[in-house]
Amino acid sequence: MHDDRNLVEARLARVLKERIRPAVHPLTTPLSVEIWSTPGEPVPVAEGLAAPTRPITPGTSWGTPWGTSWFKVTGTVPAEWAGRTVEAVLDLGFTPRTPGFQCEGLVHLRDGTPVKGLHPRNSHVRVGSPVAGGEQVHWRIEAASNPDLDASGVPFQPTPMGDRTTAGDAPQYVLGEMRLAVFDETVWNLVMDLEVLGELMAELPVDGARRFEILRAVGRALDAVDLQDVNGTAAEARSRLAEVLAAPAVPSAHRISAVGHAHIDSAWLWPLRETVRKVARTASNMTALLAEEPEFVFTMSQAQQFAWIKEHRPEVYAKVKKAVADGRFVPAGGMWVESDTNMPGSEAMARQFVHGKRFFLEEFGIENDEAWLPDTFGFAAGLPQIIRAAGSTRLLTQKISWSRTNSFPHHTFQWEGIDGTRIFTHFPPVDSYNCEMAGRQIAHAAANFKEKGVATRSLAPTGYGDGGGGTTREMVAKAARLRSLEGSATVEWEAPADFFAKAEAEYPDPPVWVGELYLELHRATLTSQAQTKRGNRRSEHLLREAELWAATAAVRTGFPYPYEELDRIWKTVLLHQFHDILPGSSIAWVHREARETYARLAGELEDVIGAAQRALAGEGTRELVFNSAPHARRGVPAGSASAQAVQGGTAAPVPREGGGYVLDNHLLRVEIDGRGLVVSVYDRAADREAIAPGQAANLLQLHPDFPNQWDAWDVDAFYRNVGSDLTEVTALEAEGGAVRVERAFGGSRVTQLLSVPADAKRLDIDTEVDWHETERFLKLAFPLDVKADRYASETQFGHVHRPTHQNTSWEWAKFEACNHRFVHLDEPGWGVAVVNDATYGHDVTRAVRTGTDAGTTTTVRASLLRAPRYPDPETDQGVHRFHHALVPGATIGDAVREGYRANLPERRVTGAGAAVPPLVTVDNEAVVVSAVKLADDRSGDLVVRLYEAHGGRARATVRGSGFAADRAVLTDLLERPLPDTEPPATADGAVVLALRPFQLVTLRLPCA
């Protein structure tokens, strides 16, 4: 037979596009449309419904950037359409771009009842099936004219459209056709048949029999279509496809569990307030689709998004809640938002699960067993223990498939964290959280699945996400045809829990991946939007203080514990840890609001802390020093206050021969040369120099920073090929107990204060940068005379080790990584820590010196600032402040202690002068208290969370002050007793713990 494959395939493409798809709506009639545009921010539904409108016709421009318009759409179903299925097709001015990144709308009945959302791939609203004819149609559409930031077609271009204050008022969209139409279900099903078969055919081997079976059937079907009467001949065309569509999948076919999904970014290329509406639109769409498709299952994560619907659109929430009760609309993930997991601190990461799971339990009686993080930019090694401590055992993500250097070796595996906890983990091999049931996606999932031969199942989150929209009726129709179809993987709608149960059952002993799940992409998110990151770090530590002192005051003085206020503030901080807010990858509007929010929260938390400390201090004129750190400081025990604190002070600067200054406290001798660089940090006790020979620390280095794409997200390895050391000074002088260094470069200025405490081996560096660069990367370097093959970075409830060498591509790819409060490296018996109060990104490199020394220089560089221009063209412009400290001779315990010190400064309060004893004490410095608070159930019980911080086994006695701790109960993160767990050992009214390395423990102590 002659090979006419290309001919038939080209015929299919054209006939589908030009004849069959248009015949889905064979009869149409225009609707009348009127419009009212809000003068500012969105208004309540009642106000939008009551507003005066004016006529508008298709082809008319509408919609200022970030504006809202209310359309009134009216019409009458023609009498001659009686007995037919009729729907409206409503085009707000959609472009071919993906849903969620342009205009969208929510259709209401005239009384305000929501009907469904509108976007370019889902623009229909059903009128009736069948209609009687003569029905009056009256809808109101709340339409958002959100600008398309990539409308130029060239991605990552700087744009002023990312903030309402700079976007202007030019109309963004042109109204399309708004019409009633007869819906021909037979033709629509023919379209679905041909799309599924055509897409499958394209994925099958060219020389395979199944491909040609489908090809011939398609040809016969097209022969049956009368192009002048598609509607009259569609049924015959479908009949000619029935046999190839009925051929079942082979027994070994890969099995895909599809779940309806709309991964909605809680903020990204739109502000938070718009996400509130995106979620309502999508939820309306999905409840409508669930009513039409009995096998369809939809899942939505992020408790915050459910809470938004509940607060802002209760009528939508009522539909959601019913669908949840029916098991069709499935809450997933058990987190407050799909947060970043690299940068949130220990308690914040724990509270993501506390607040998320508690919301789902209280609202729906549902407890999720899976963490659901499809789009998060890598996963910290402390996360498995947190997931398990929250009562969950599973994780889903697909983001690691975005890695650019190495292909991850598994799709289903056990992930082991720093403490040894393992979590059953699945990466959908479809490599998308926006699966559309396209043939190429289904074929890719089957071919890509790395567990072939030992497992058969994968999951496919199906629906339009990022900007929302969800699953469409076309995706459901395709899934139905793929349920069992020869040549394809099989597809079945299933909830995540059902998929995981089957996947675990068939693969009980999967391979193990140990340590962090590092994304080899988006590394610059550890640095972009420095003020957002500082706001997060400060909020986390202020919350620690607020809970500690409020709980202490409540127990000691009857101070009213601010349950509601702390709950609200925690949820706001958790929201801003979303994986496009904290990472700095959102539009200017988002980060402007984040800065304002963090400032407001700081004020509120300072008020809570101040009120609690005043209640504890009492009336008087004597100064008390409060220490909220988990270690004693200057004679003040951890979590207590004392009037006997040792006074501080700093070593006085002394002029240095040859220029510069010397800071010497008899423990540490620091030399600062005439360039303002640190050329010596000498540890007197160890008789050891910390700075590598011929090198200088406190060295600011500036690199060009123009990645190949994803400007705010990425820094590419080639940035290190070119750079300059900032060694010129404009001022160098002693200022009190510090050395002041000023520099100028480009359009920016830097001022630093370098000091050495009188009683500690530590060099403190306070840096202020007035930053006005673009596409530059600023680093702060510390070249150290230490030979270390690995170094430690703090992560949640412990630290993770990373190599300093690049033996493999996996190690090379980690050229920018995350730490929390410290980085530590050492040789046996001596180490160095670099601690910080607000930075996360860093790099560590090593070089062997030439000459007679031939020693190893290990350089730690903290990443300070970037200046990408997309999506926020003014990223990081302005004044920033950073604190770093170099701690020579530091053990890992010293690094932990100094990290907390840098982030939890002591507070001085005037009062009666009586010491405030700590509520609880722990007798082992390796065991760190991360939270002291009252129980969320308002029982008055005290909750203490602690962890082993040094990476070894530890025994510790936890003792209450003023109450016995021997009634303590071990709990999960939600403060519920752990099932099947023996009570903790007790002795002399105290709890005795034996902890494994990095083990996390939560104790609940009745203190009445």
Catalytic residues: 375
Rounded to 5°, angle at Cα 55 from 51 and 57: 135
Torsion of CA 815, 591, 882, 909, to 10 degrees: -140
Q: Classify residue 412 as exposed, middle or buried by CB count within 10 Å of its CB (0-12, 13-18, 19+).
A: buried
Calculate ∠ Cα 892-897-900, nearest 5°.
Answer: 125
Find the helix or strand (DSSP H, E) in which 702 lies.
Answer: strand 699-704
Residue 52 CA to residue 69 CA, distance in Å, equals 12
Count CB neighbours of 409 within 10 A: 9
As to burial, measured by CB atoms within 10 angstroms (0-12 exposed, 13-18 middle, 19+ buried), residue 260 is buried
Helix, strand, coil fractions of the chain, as percent rounded to 5: 30, 30, 40
* Residue 508 structure tokens: 């009980």
Which three-class secondary structure state does DSSP give residue 799?
A: strand
The Cα–Cα gap between 399 and 324 comes to 27
Q: H/E element holding 255?
A: strand 255-261
- DSSP bridge partners of 993: 956
DSSP-assigned beta bridge partners for residue 907: 626
d(CA 109, CA 749): 58
Hey, which residues does 138 pair with through a beta bridge?
74
Residues 6+ away with beta carbon under 8 Å from 478: 192, 195, 196, 437, 438
Cα angle value 745/750/756 (rounded, 5°): 140
883 vs 901: CA distance, rounded Å: 11
Rounded Cα distance, 344 and 29, in Å = 55
Counting every residue written for the chain, the total comes to 1008
Cα–Cα distance, 705 to 778 (Å, whole number): 9
Sign of the Cα torsion 979, 981, 987, 992 reads: negative
CA distance 57 to 106: 19
Of 871, 713, 659, which Cα lies nearest the Cα of 155? Answer: 871
* Residues 261, 470 contacting (CB under 8 angstroms): yes
Strands (E), 451-515: 457-462, 490-493, 512-514
- Distance separating the N- and C-terminal Cα atoms of the chain: 90
Neighbours of 826 (CB within 10 A): 21
For 97-115, give one letter per residue: b (16+ CB within 10 A) or e. Answer: ebbbbbbbbbbbeeeeebb
Query: Could you count the other beta carbons within 10 Å of the beta carbon of residue 202?
Result: 15
φ/ψ (deg, to 5) at 204: -85, 155
**How many separate helices (H) and strands (E) can be counted in the chain?**
19, 53
Name the 3-class secondary structure at 147. coil
State how beta strands 798-803 and 790-795 pair.
antiparallel
Residue 844's nearest CA partner among 864, 867, 866, 817 is: 817
Which run of H or of E encompasses 993?
strand 990-995
Q: Give the residue carrying structure tokens 């830097």.
A: 750
The continuous run of DSSP H or E covering 548 comes out as: helix 530-557
